[in-house]
Structures are given as C-alpha cells and as structure tokens.
Structure 1
Amino acid sequence: MSKRIRVLVVDDSLLLRKAISKILGEDPGIEVVGAAKDAYEARDMIKQLHPDVLTLDIEMPGMNGLVFLRNLMRLHPMPVVMVSTHTTQGGEATLEALDIGAFDVVAKPTGGASLNVQGYGQEIVDKVKAAAQAPVRRLADLRAAGTMAGGSVSIGGRKLADPGRVIAIGASTGGTEAVRIVLDSLPAEIPGVVITQHIPGSFSAQFAKRLNASSKLNVKEAEDGEPIKPGHAYVAPGNMHLLVTRSGGVLRCTLSDGPPVSQHKPSVDVLFESVAKAIGEKAVAVLMTGMGVDGAQGLLQLRQAGAVTICQDEKTSVVWGMPGEAVRLGASERIIPLQKIAEEIISGLVAPRT
C-alpha cells in the first residue's frame, strides 16, 4: 500500500476546517494530520506533524495567509493549495499567492453555514494529490525563468501584426506566472493572443489586469463578440468558454456558457478546437504547465490543421500533465523550455508553413 498524503488544513473558520478535513479525510489516499485556526498554530503544527501538503486560507486574523506563505516558502518550502474567497480582494491576494509559490488555488465553497460543497470536494482532493507529487517550486524558479527570457523578443522590423492570425495559449496549474513570463517577452507588434487559464471564476478579471500591468500587449478579459486585434490579448472569463469565430471576415472572441469540457470551464480544448476550425494553419498554439489532459486533443486538432504547435517542456513545468499528454498524442511540433517559448512563438509566425 502506498504512503498516504499527510495534509494540514489551515483556516480561521471552524466550519471550513471541519468541512475541508472531512472531504480530504474521506479519500483513502489522504490523511488529515491536523487543522490549525491561524498561521501561528500552523507554524507549530508543521514542525510537529511534518505534513506533505498544506491547505491555506488567505484571509486570517493576526498573520495573514500571504505573509505566512512568504515566510514558509523562504524557510520551509512545501506544496500549498490556497483556499480563497470569491471577491476582488480575494482574487488579487490569490494571484499574489501563486506568484509567491503556492501550487494552486480552490475557491471557498459558497452557501454560508450550509456550505455548498457539491463538486468542490473532488477539486480540492485532486489538487492536493497533484501538489504532493509535484516538485516544490520556490518563487525564484519562475522568476529566474523570466529573467533568463531577457525582455521582449526582437522581430527585426518584420510585419507580424496580421489580423487574420491568432496566437492561442492554454495553461492550468503554474500557469498564472508562466503565462505572464511569456506575455512579458512578446512585442506588441504581433497578432492577437487568446488565453484560457484554469482559474476560479471570479479571479479572471484580476488575472487579466495583472498581465496588462507588465505586458507590452493590451491585455483584457474577453467580451462576447469583440474583434481580435493585433497587439491585444484576451483572457477567458472564469466559468465561460472562450472560442475564436469568424464573422463578416473578422476574427472575434465568442463566449459560451456550455457545460464543462475535459472537466473544465473555461476549457483549453474548446479554445483550441475553435481556433483550428476558424483559421487552422494560420494559428500558433501553446500548451503550458497544468494538471490533467485539457488542451491535448485540441492541440492535436490544431497540428492536424497545419498550425504551429508548441508545448512547454517537463523541466520548466510545475505539472507536466496537459503538455505531457499532448506530447504523448503527437500533438506538439516543438517542446520548449518556458524562457524560450516567446521566441518560439515569433519563430512560428515568421517561418513559412510547408
């Protein structure tokens, strides 16, 4: 019998501590070794109980979750799954936590005292299990990749801002920082970029805002029917699928409230398949770090349609699930480290297709 994953639950709400502990404890592969009401109690319990994974509330009295996470990643790095509220403030804090080095995030279940945990349980179980298997990534790992990328890739005066082309990017666990690194390395004079990042529904607007603050592209949350313009990037809204469609000869963002695909909404497969249908060989598509298989089949469709297809390599991925599956399927034309992906995108735009 394989060793069970030892989990410490940290949340200032007694109700949530009990609910999360119960959900995790019911899985035979997980052992909840303790539950702490604040960061100080968590600090002591980590020393005593040696958990493999932490679930951590962001908003706690005394030392908040972000301060605690910074200290933890500096002194005792370990996999952490953040538990955050569906608020603007919660979204900003969550993205900061992911930048600091948290493995992933789950939104708190809604419903007050009744705690609507339908569908929530499997998500947190899956993320805790994935966190336990992934190598611990300090903030410095991704920051180093960003530094190595060395600013914008040069396009040497070439005219690449073709409104008939699109760059499509899909990512999940580890993607919020990885996508930022790629976008920060891209020049403004390129075709429109469409992005599906698995992220809790209320956090996508903050994610787009953070990307816009550092990128040379104009980054925003996608709106239904808006034209895809060169020099702009469009992020799928949380809980809505993003598709690329052609209307009146113009490529547009189309939002769909359809059911989850590949267990996700928004789904990378939905985005990639729509791009394959809309423009085929005129696309450049990138599948980045993430758990699961979403995007692999869509990337295969893109490759079969003649598009340039790129996967992030295993070494620089926080989790090599989605890109790994794409490689297994033969969907990826190029397997590239994170710090070289922007350069490869430009190469894909420049090189003629045979």
Structure 2
Amino acid sequence: MAVVSGSSSGGAKDDGPIRVMVVDDSAVVRGLESRILQADPGITVVASVGNGQVAVQALERHDVEVIVLDIEMPVMDGLTALPELLKRDPNLKIIMSSTLTLKNAEVSLTALSKGAADYIPKPTASRDMGGGQDFAVELVSKVKTLGRVRRQRSGLAKPLFPPRSRTPVGTPATPAAPAVSALSLKGPLQLRPPPTERPDLIAIGSSTGGPQALFKVLGDITAAGGVPQPIMITQHMPATFTTILAEHITRSARMSAKEGVDGELIKGGQVYVAPGGFHMVAKAEGTQRKLALNQDPPENFCRPSVDPMLRSLAQIYGRRLLVVILTGMGSDGAKGGKVVVDSGGSVVAQDEATSVVWGMPGAAAQAGICSAVLPLSEIGSYVHRLATKR
C-alpha cells in the first residue's frame, strides 16, 4: 500500500479539500489518477491502495469521502469490496472504474444497483496515459461533485442552487400534475400549468444515478399498464455501456429497448437509447419520423447530450412532447427543455431528495420550465397518467 497523505478518521475538517482514496491493482493507473486528483486544490488523495481488502482496512485509518474503485483486482475485487466499504460508511461516494468491455459494463451497472454512485471508464494507453485531458476532466468533475453532494446532504456545504422565492403558477396540484413533493428547497418553485394534451413521444435525460432511476421510472410505467408512445433516452454513458443499459431496461422494466440506429423509423412502444459517442436526434421525412445519429461536437461536455435530442424533438412534436429530466450532474437538458416548453411541450424533473446529484433536474426546476418536480417514486405513474389520458 502506498499512502499519499493521511488524516486521522473523525478529525478531518469538512470545509477543506475533498478526501479521496484511489483503489487499483495497477500502480501505473493509481499513480496517474492520484496525480490528476492531487493537481486540483479542491481534492486531496488520502490513500492509494492495490485491492479491495486493503481499501476496507484503510477506512479504519483514513477519513475518506469519495473512493475511485477498480473492478478487476486480486485478493478482493471491486464488486466484492463495494458492500464492505458501504457497510463501514454508508455515506461514502464510490465511483467504479472499469475498462470498456461488455463484461465490465455489466458489472458496473450491477455495482450501481448495489450502492455505487457513479462509474468512469479507465484511462486508455493510446490517449489518457499520454496526457489526454478527457479522462482527467471527467475524473476531477465527478469526484468534486460527489464530494460536495455528500457534504450538502450532511449540512456541511452550501446547496448547489440558492433558495428561490418565486410563486408557483398554474394549477400544479391537480391529479395530472402533482405539486412539488419532497423537494428540499427553502422557497417555492415556479411551476408551469400541466399539459392538456396526450404526448406523442416521451423523452428522458439522465446522468449520474440515471440507470437506477431509469429502471424505476420505466418499471413503474410498465406496472401501471405501459404506454403506447415511443420513448427516447439520452443517458450520459460511453459506448458499450449503453448497449448493456438497453439490455437491462428490457429485462428490468419489461420494455422493448435498444440502442438507436441511424435512419430507423420511430415506432410506438419502443424504447430507444442514445448510443455512447453519438448524439441521438429525430428528423421528419414527410409523415415519417426517424432517428438520426451524429458525432457533432459534445454539448455540456457530453456526447450523447440531452439538449440536441430535445431541440430536435421540439421541432417535430411541439406541444405533444413530454420530457423527463432525471438525476445527473451538470445542467444538460435545461436549455433543450426551454425550447420544448416554448414549443408547447412539457417537462417534469426529479426532486432533490431522491436524486443522486440534483444538477440536471435542479437546473430545469430552477429555470421555471417544469410542470412538476417529483420524487422518483411518483414519476412513472405521473408519466403514465399523462400518456394514457383520453
């Protein structure tokens, strides 16, 4: 074990740098990740270890807030270590680190279901090991965001969004659009009137914490009787991971889900997942509606990104578009959501209390574009009511 810096458990200050442990059996990867993290003044690496068993032991000696945890390691792998680490500190934020293989994508999604907060593709020799910045930016961003969320939930840091004192508008308390529920804000949000027409398409955007939120929302829609509309999903994920995500949706939500294919017809009852590395948008050809994939520049540092999907859908579906913004860091979906509501469509966002990170849904809620801001457990039934009303 190589300890980079130490701090005694229980005596650490909660207004200082985010305290991180790096766990990977490769000394090269550990060194790279530690250097990247230590270079940011808002982060300190308190321990760097080679397997899950040593990581569990290290929690007895170090005050850790975020762990970057490799999946494949000797002695104790990441998936085995995950519950042991969370048993010792349920408030830990754990980011799974894995290579881009189908097997590891499957394991990463399993880890998310067992309490991991997020995942990150491991650095590649051809790009990130040679000084590329994509991995570094993503790693630092996720560590700092999750560390801040941990502190916010403990009352040790300021909330991401300041309190708002705006008056709700419309009639958000009707059965079709419940009022803001379980939302930990100090002031009321401005809610738009609920939609009056049944949507022709449902679009969902999500990021950190998104896979589990998607399984819950889509599963609840199925349990309520399903919907006839097509569903388009943009989840911030790399290639390979989105393939596995679609398979998990098919199994867990009992919906027909697949990665979107360029040029295919958009059909009712089908779930389309944006493939990693591509923006997924819609286009109209006469009376037909088709998917289109492109590799235009990333938006909000992401490809796929939610905003281009929503802009394209707003042009085609107008007021008959329903958008759901689920948990995720950043603000992807807020600008596209504004285009949607300006075109007559509607947006619903997940609330803060049930979000892993209230970045994307928080940005939409604070922008005043939502008809409802709801706990995760209520979103599926809300969507079903709107999608099936006469």
If the length of structure 1 is used for normalisation, what is the TM-score?
A: 0.88
Match among 335, 342, 349 for residue 373 of structure 2: 335
Match among 161, 169, 180 for residue 215 of structure 2: 180
* Alignment partner of 1:288 is 2:302: no
Stretches of structure 2 that go unaligned for 5 or more consecutive residues are: 1-12, 154-197
Give 1:310's aligned residue.
348
Give 1:167's aligned residue.
202
Per the TM alignment, residue 189 of structure 1 is displaced from its structure 2 partner at its CA by 3.7
Give 2:179's aligned residue.
none
Query: What SS class does the counterpart of residue 206 from structure 1 fall into?
Result: helix
Which amino acid is 2:314 matched to? A
Give 2:286's aligned residue.
248
Stretches of structure 1 that go unaligned for 5 or more consecutive residues are: 138-161
* Alignment partner of 1:121 is 2:159: no
* Alignment partner of 1:61 is 2:99: no
Which amino acid is 1:32 matched to? V
Query: What SS class does the counterpart of residue 220 from structure 1 fall into?
Result: strand
Correspondences of 1:1-354 after superposition (within 5 Å)? 2-77=15-90, 78-111=92-125, 115-116=129-130, 117-135=132-150, 165-187=200-222, 188-350=226-388
Cα distance between partner residues in 2 of 1:231 and 1:94:
28
Cα distance between partner residues in 2 of 1:46 and 1:265:
36
Cα distance between partner residues in 2 of 1:227 and 1:103:
35
Cα distance between partner residues in 2 of 1:294 and 1:25:
28
Which amino acid is 2:200 matched to? R
Instruction: State the Cα deviation string for residues 218-249 of structure 1 (Å, max 9, x = none).
Output: 01111111111111100000010010222231
Q: Is the CA contact (8 Å cut-off) linking 2:227 and 2:388 kept in structure 1?
A: no
Cα distance between partner residues in 2 of 1:61 and 1:121:
25
Per the TM alignment, residue 46 of structure 1 is displaced from its structure 2 partner at its CA by 1.4
Which amino acid is 2:268 matched to? P
Which amino acid is 2:144 matched to? K
Instruction: State the Cα deviation string for residues 259-296 of structure 1 (Å, max 9, x = none).
Output: 10111100011111111111111111100111001111
Which amino acid is 1:307 matched to? G
Which amino acid is 2:135 matched to? Y
Instruction: State the Cα deviation string for residues 274-322 of structure 1 (Å, max 9, x = none).
Output: 1111111111110011100111111111111111211111111111111
**How many residue pairs were aligned?**
327
Cα distance between partner residues in 1 of 2:300 and 2:315:
19
Specify whether residues 45 and 113 from structure 1 end up closer, same or farther in structure 2 by C-alpha distance, changes over 3 A only: farther
Q: Is the CA contact (8 Å cut-off) linking 1:308 and 1:348 kept in structure 2?
A: no
Specify whether residues 96 and 236 from structure 1 end up closer, same or farther in structure 2 by C-alpha distance, changes over 3 A only: same
Cα distance between partner residues in 2 of 1:280 and 1:251:
13
If the length of structure 2 is used for normalisation, what is the TM-score?
A: 0.80
Cα distance between partner residues in 1 of 2:82 and 2:118:
13
Q: Is the CA contact (8 Å cut-off) linking 1:81 and 1:131 kept in structure 2?
A: no
Query: What SS class does the counterpart of residue 185 from structure 1 fall into?
Result: helix
Which amino acid is 2:373 matched to? I
Per the TM alignment, residue 350 of structure 1 is displaced from its structure 2 partner at its CA by 4.5
RMSD: 1.9
Give 1:153's aligned residue.
none
Cα distance between partner residues in 1 of 2:128 and 2:280:
32
Query: What SS class does the counterpart of residue 231 from structure 2 fall into?
Result: strand
